[in-house]
Amino acid sequence: MSAPATDPATDPTIGYEVLSAESAPTYVASRPDLAELLDTDRLARVEEVGDGNLNLVFILTDVDGRGVVLKQALTYMRLVGPDWPMRPDRARLEAEITRVHSNVAPGLVPAIYSYDPDRYLIAMEDLSDHRVWRGLLNEGQRHDGVAEAMGRYVASVAFGTSPLGMDPEEQKALAASTSNGELCRITEDLVFTEPYVDAGRNQVLLENEVDAAELAADTEMVEAMGLAKWKFMTEGEAIIHGDLHTGSVMVRGTGPDGAPGDGSSSARAIDSEFGFCGPVAFDIGALWANYLIAANRGAALGDGVQRDWCLDLVPRTWSAFEAEFRRRWPERLDPRVWHDDLAEQLLRHWQQDAWLFAAAKMARRIVGLAKTADIETLDPEIRVGAARSVLRTARTAVRERVSDPSPHNLVALAGSIATP
Would you tell me which residues interact with Mg ion (CB under 5 A)? 52, 271
- Of the listed pieces 89-97, 117-125, 184-192, 398-406, which binds ligand SR1 according to CB under 6 A? 184-192
Per partner kind, with CB cut-offs from 5 to 8 A, the member of Mg ion, ligand SR1, none near residue 384 is none
Q: Is residue 336 exposed (0-12), middle (13-18) or buried (19+ Cβ within 10 Å)?
A: exposed
| CB-closest chain residue to ligand SR1 | 53
Sign, CA dihedral 192-195-197-202, equals positive
Nearer to ligand SR1, 221 or 244 (CB): 244
Q: Is residue 15 exposed (0-12), middle (13-18) or buried (19+ Cβ within 10 Å)?
A: exposed
In the list 86, 154, 190, 313, the residue contacting ligand SR1 (rule: CB under 6 A) is 190
Verify binding: residue 370, ligand SR1, rule CB under 6 A.
Answer: yes
Q: How far is the CB of 271 from Mg ion (least distance, A)?
A: 4
Verify binding: residue 366, ligand SR1, rule CB under 6 A.
Answer: no
Please say whether the beta carbons of 238 and 277 come within 8 A: yes
Q: Which residues pair with 61 in a beta bridge?
A: 45, 67
Q: How far is the CB of 156 from ligand SR1 (least distance, A)?
A: 22
Q: Which residues contact 337 (CB under 8 A, 6 or more apart)?
A: none
In the list 243, 312, 322, 324, the residue contacting ligand SR1 (rule: CB under 6 A) is 243
**# binding residues, ligand SR1 (CB under 6 A):** 9
Q: How far is the CB of 56 from Mg ion (least distance, A)?
A: 13
Please say whether the beta carbons of 313 and 328 come within 8 A: no
Please say whether the beta carbons of 306 and 142 come within 8 A: yes
Nearer to ligand SR1, 135 or 140 (CB): 135
Q: What length is written for the chain?
A: 420
Per partner kind, with CB cut-offs from 5 to 8 A, the member of Mg ion, ligand SR1, none near residue 285 is none
Verify binding: residue 184, ligand SR1, rule CB under 6 A.
Answer: no
Please say whether the beta carbons of 190 and 369 come within 8 A: yes
Q: How far is the CB of 65 from ligand SR1 (least distance, A)?
A: 30
Nearer to ligand SR1, 4 or 67 (CB): 4
Verify binding: residue 369, ligand SR1, rule CB under 6 A.
Answer: yes
- Of the listed pieces 68-76, 154-162, 183-191, 202-210, which binds ligand SR1 according to CB under 6 A? 183-191
Sign, CA dihedral 398-402-403-408, equals positive
Exposure of 212 in the CB half-sphere (CA atoms within 13 A): 20
Q: How far is the CB of 84 from Mg ion (least distance, A)?
A: 15
Q: How far is the CB of 170 from ligand SR1 (least distance, A)?
A: 28
Q: How far apart are CA 81 and CA 62, in angstroms?
A: 32
Q: In what order do the strands lie in the sheet with 56-62?
A: 43-48, 56-62, 67-72, 121-124, 112-116
Nearer to ligand SR1, 56 or 77 (CB): 77
Verify binding: residue 324, ligand SR1, rule CB under 6 A.
Answer: no
Q: How far is the CB of 243 from ligand SR1 (least distance, A)?
A: 5
Nearer to Mg ion, 37 or 136 (CB): 136
* DSSP label at residue 110: P
Q: Which residues pair with 43 in a beta bridge?
A: 62
Site for ligand SR1 in 45-104 (CB under 6 A): 53, 77, 79
Per partner kind, with CB cut-offs from 5 to 8 A, the member of Mg ion, ligand SR1, none near residue 122 is none
Q: Which residues contact 299 (CB under 8 A, 6 or more apart)?
A: 307, 386, 389, 418, 419, 420
* Buried residues in 152-185 as b, exposed as e (16+ CB within 10 A): bbbbbbbbbbbbbbbeeeebeebbeebebeebbe
Nearest to 220 by CA among 353, 399, 390, 368: 399
Q: How far is the CB of 84 from ligand SR1 (least distance, A)?
A: 8
Q: How far apart are CA 226 and CA 215, in angstroms?
A: 14
Nearer to ligand SR1, 112 or 190 (CB): 190
Binding site for ligand SR1 (CB under 6 A): 53, 77, 79, 186-187, 190, 243, 369-370
